[in-house]
Amino acid sequence: MKHIVILAFAVLAFTATFAQGRTDFPMKPEMTEIWDPEVTVVTPGVTPQDAPSDAIILFNGTNLSQEWLNEAGGEPGWKVTDGCVTVEKGTGTITTKRQFNDFQLHIEWRSPSEVIGESQGRGNSGVFLQGIYELQVLDNYNNRTYRNGQAGSFYKQYPPLVNVCKGPGVWQMYDVIYTAPRFNTNGTYFTPPTVTVLHNGVLVQNHVALRGPTPYVGIPEYFVKPHGAGPIILQDHGNPVSYRNIWIREL
Ligand code: MG
């Protein structure tokens, strides 16, 4: 009850302040303290990459069948071994069964230890947010490509702020904070999707506003078909990129 009274005072005080630029009565510290609802307690992982207590585990290293499908809606063709899953060339993308709107995503990935190819041909895969916005996965450790197509980029839209790639065969991680777009009735974005990305703990995308899905050829489309929640999709680009420890928190 005490908290409700204080909150009521705080609302009155704020209203008075913003309406008139001043308050008509002396302010006390507790008038601007907001207690309810209490901020939810979440137990963090022992190390930052461990899933916190409220995360949905999308892949824990043992099986894909619980949370993932192949393109045809069947059992994914990618192989699970040694606690990770690896792209099986030609079997197509894998897609989460669940659909998401706003989220925090953690995903670890590893470029093939055997270095084959160059530029876009080396360790190419990708993480598609809501199924259509690609966060590029690529081996850019001593491998130059166009800057808006390298690891940590939103393909053909935003290059990463820095190149934080670890070498082939070494585990890396992305932490993604994603806010889904909201649409006008005519199909344009009311607010575009916005994304922040940490690559190996370093900021590479700072709350960028995506311009739409990205075609391989052409410029990003501003006008997309309005969409609701979408899955996380991992790309089969023909290279044996591996993934592990994938978890997500809906916001
Ligand atoms: Mg890709």
pLDDT of residue 43: 79
pLDDT of residue 17: 47
Centre of ligand 1 to C-alpha 234, Å, is 9
Contact 204, 174 (CB under 8 A): no
Residue 148 identity: N
Centre of ligand 1 to C-alpha 184, Å, is 30
Q: Can you name the CATH fold of 40-250? A: Jelly Rolls (2.60.120)
Give the residue-averaged pLDDT of 15-42.
75
Centre of ligand 1 to C-alpha 154, Å, is 10
Point out the least confidently predicted range of 66-75, 162-171, 185-194: 185-194
Give the residue-averaged pLDDT of 149-168.
94
pLDDT for 227 beyond 60? yes
Helix (H) or strand (E) holding 202: strand 202-209
Centre of ligand 1 to C-alpha 1, Å, is 54
Centre of ligand 1 to C-alpha 111, Å, is 12
- Residue 37 CA to residue 185 CA, distance in Å, equals 34
Ranked by mean pLDDT, which of 10-24, 112-126, 219-233 comes out on top?
112-126
Q: How confident is the model at residue 90 (pLDDT cuts 50, 70, 90)?
A: very high
pLDDT for 11 beyond 80? no
The DSSP bridge pattern shows strands 242-250 and 56-59 to be antiparallel
Helix (H) or strand (E) holding 248: strand 242-250
Q: How confident is the model at residue 224 (pLDDT cuts 50, 70, 90)?
A: low
- Residue 219 CA to residue 222 CA, distance in Å, equals 9
pLDDT of residue 216: 74
pLDDT in tens, 113-141: 999 999 999 999 999 999 999 999 999 99
pLDDT for 147 beyond 60? yes
pLDDT of residue 214: 73
Ion ligand 1, residues whose Cβ is below 5 A away: 124, 126, 235
pLDDT of residue 40: 80
Q: How confident is the model at residue 66 (pLDDT cuts 50, 70, 90)?
A: very high
C-alpha distances out from residue 182 to 20, 124, 131, 230, 248, Å: 33, 30, 16, 13, 21
SS3 (DSSP) at 119: helix
What share of the chain in percent tops pLDDT 90? 72
Centre of ligand 1 to C-alpha 171, Å, is 17
DSSP 8-state secondary structure symbol assigned to residue 32: G
Q: How confident is the model at residue 42 (pLDDT cuts 50, 70, 90)?
A: confident
Domain ranges of the chain: 40-250
